[in-house]
Structure 1
Amino acid sequence: MSHDDPAANAAGAGPSRSPAPDPHAATPSWQWPEPVWRGHVEAVRAGRGLLPPRWPDGARVAVALSFDSDHETIPLRDGETSPGLLAQGEYGARKGAGRVLELLERYSAPATFFMPAVSALLHPDEARRYVREGHEVGVHGWIHERNTLLAAEDEKTLIRRALETLTDITGRTPTGIRTPSWDFSDSTLETVLDLGFLYDSSLMADDEPYEVVAHGRPTGLVEIPVDWIRDDAPYFTMDRFTALRPYTRPRDVLEIWRDEFDAAYRDGGVFQLTMHPHVIGHRSRLVILRELLDHVSGHRGVWFATHDQLAGTARDQLGRPTASNSPTEQP
């Protein structure tokens, strides 16, 4: 990583250390020997499934709502400082977050807000309000940096600083992390474990929680998987200078998410959703979230859980015999 990387400069990160060169980097993947491609696949893998035999209070399904309160950090990450781009993010703090919180209160639905530290520094009262109203705040990087492009030391510095900042602002130490890139660098897993996180919510290997495995070794880290299907940003994000345009009607997204919930309810599993206050918080989009919560609340046996609560229930399965969990690999 070069020193002109905006994420490192904004965070005041120390000198970068380049990773060791990969002797196969210049070799086409179809020429890789088996140990090379197998090593990449097995570096971070889904281990044992952690779906419990029953949910708390006999619930039929777990519903884990999450919101990534990125606000102004998306343009700031890339060194973009135009008022127009920053205003798009500011909408999330000025309008979207409050609307979301009011809706969650109406349905008595606790949620998890993953917040970049810079976003929390810009809007500390908002971060504290999340906790005050019974929600969870999780780590989402320092300035929504592209963590997969960082040197190991820089990535660890930023995550540690984000963890300390959120703890200072909210008075609660976050137990979970969602990486800004929804991905791991070669050093992310080691950093997450070293800093004591109990769960991650960045990977996509299952519908239900699972244990993360590193090179065949169970790590004890709970993964609460995400997916682009259950994220509002791919459907609604807009950039006037590129081909990035909203391509789905809100009502169509409602249908997709409702079908996802219905399937999770039938399976007795988890319905996890990722949204952003500056995206879902617009009037015509908040309507579909309200209708979705009407649909969800119309079912018996729904457990609304923060990601921390869900991870705690999943983590309890680590002490159970492996046979009681779903297998590592599905046929």
Structure 2
Amino acid sequence: MNRDLVGYGGNWPDITWPNGARLAVSLVVNFEEGAEQQVSDGDPVTERIGEVISVVPHGRPDPGQAQIFAYGTRAGAWRIAEALRRHQMPATLFVCGRAAERAGSVLAMLAQDGHEVANHGWLWRPHADFERREDETSALERAELAIHDATGQTPRGFFCRGAESPWTRALLAERGYFYTSNGFDDDLPYRDPSGLMVVPYALDTNDMKFFHPNGFVRAEDMVDYVRAALDVLQAESQRGLPRLMNIGFHLRIIGRPGRFAAFEQILEMLSERRDDLWITTRYQIAKAFAESSPCM
């Protein structure tokens, strides 16, 4: 693997987003519930990461862990959808195929509000696990069909848990995808040799850190962290530097009452600063960047 440790080298492209802002903001809502691995679903293992680390022995069903995930589509999704509507905020949904197949009505409810759907893999697992190109192709196809059946949308973007396989980007380009978000290395999109746009994602301004011991504990922790990131990026954008900010959420995490306050407060913060931001979907960010930097 050839690692690019320089990127733009401080010579940022002179990009103004379509509404005249220099800072684009992408809200991501992950739709994974039902696609996590569960022995009870015939998977070889059960997902360990939840509200607590599972103590059920490997290879045995863990109904408690399954219920923790199910909370996201049974309860959390409805809070999140209502808040996005009320604040008139567009989001990109990172959708796992098996989740779309199992909770299609919930996904349709979210998608009908105009949010973008992106392919998050068939299962909530790293695509780096695939040992054969054919198996990954089948997983992509299966997820695409499930997402389309639930929403009528064909995904133009992709993001998998963990990391891609060596051939993921070539497969995506062959299948007509426009961007991937398996990049954590910049504050701006860039073009991959495959021809795909890379719209970098972020794991720090992300509610998954509520599930990690070095992360957020109170709702205010996430709000304060997101505010600090937004302040820095907004100050840079006011100096003429184009920037992208990512904020990631999960139905089962931010949808819980004790953490939902963070979601509300972050949306309120973005609403107050809306005139200085371009809050939009990842596809629109990728498209605008590609059109502004056709030779990148």
**1-structure distance, mates of 2:249, 2:12:** 24
Contact 1:209 1:225 in 2 (8 A): yes
Q: Does 1:155 align with 2:117?
A: no
Contact 1:160 1:195 in 2 (8 A): no
Identity %: 26
Alignment equivalent of 1:297, drawn from 253, 256, 271: 271
Q: Does 1:306 align with 2:281?
A: yes
Contact 1:50 1:317 in 2 (8 A): no
Alignment equivalent of 1:189, drawn from 169, 172, 176: 169
Highest Rg: 1 or 2? Answer: 1
Q: Does 1:117 align with 2:79?
A: no
**2-structure distance, mates of 1:231, 1:83:** 26
**1-structure distance, mates of 2:249, 2:154:** 22
SS at match of 1:75: coil
Cα offsets for 1:62-121 (capped at 9, x unmatched): 111001111132233653342211111100001111111111111110101111110011
Structure 1 residue 131, shift from structure 2 partner: 2.0
Contact 1:130 1:137 in 2 (8 A): no
**1-structure distance, mates of 2:257, 2:125:** 29
Structure 2: gaps of 5 or more residues: 47-60, 238-242
Structure 1 counterpart of 2:258, one-letter code: S
The runs of 4+ residues in structure 1 deviating greater than 6 Å are 47-50
What TM-score, normalized to structure 1? 0.75
**2-structure distance, mates of 1:169, 1:52:** 39
Cα distance change on mapping 1:250 and 1:78 into 2, 3 Å? farther
**Match in the other structure for 2:251:** 277
Structure 1: gaps of 5 or more residues: 1-39, 213-217, 239-243, 323-331
**1-structure distance, mates of 2:8, 2:137:** 24
Cα distance change on mapping 1:44 and 1:192 into 2, 3 Å? farther
Cα distance change on mapping 1:229 and 1:78 into 2, 3 Å? farther
SS at match of 1:219: coil
SS at match of 2:186: coil
* Structural mapping, 1:89-128, within 5 Å: 89-128=69-108
Contact 2:21 2:278 in 1 (8 A): yes
**2-structure distance, mates of 1:50, 1:312:** 18
Alignment equivalent of 2:206, drawn from 231, 249, 263: 231
**Match in the other structure for 1:266:** 235
Contact 2:207 2:254 in 1 (8 A): yes
Q: Does 1:66 align with 2:66?
A: no
> For the aligned residues, what is the CA RMSD?
2.4
**1-structure distance, mates of 2:168, 2:12:** 22
* Structural mapping, 1:1-331, within 5 Å: 40-42=1-3, 53-76=15-38, 79-80=45-46, 81-151=61-131, 152-181=133-162, 183-212=163-192, 218-233=193-208, 235-237=209-211, 248-268=217-237, 269-299=243-273, 300-319=275-294
Count of residues in Structure 1 that have an aligned counterpart in Structure 2:
270
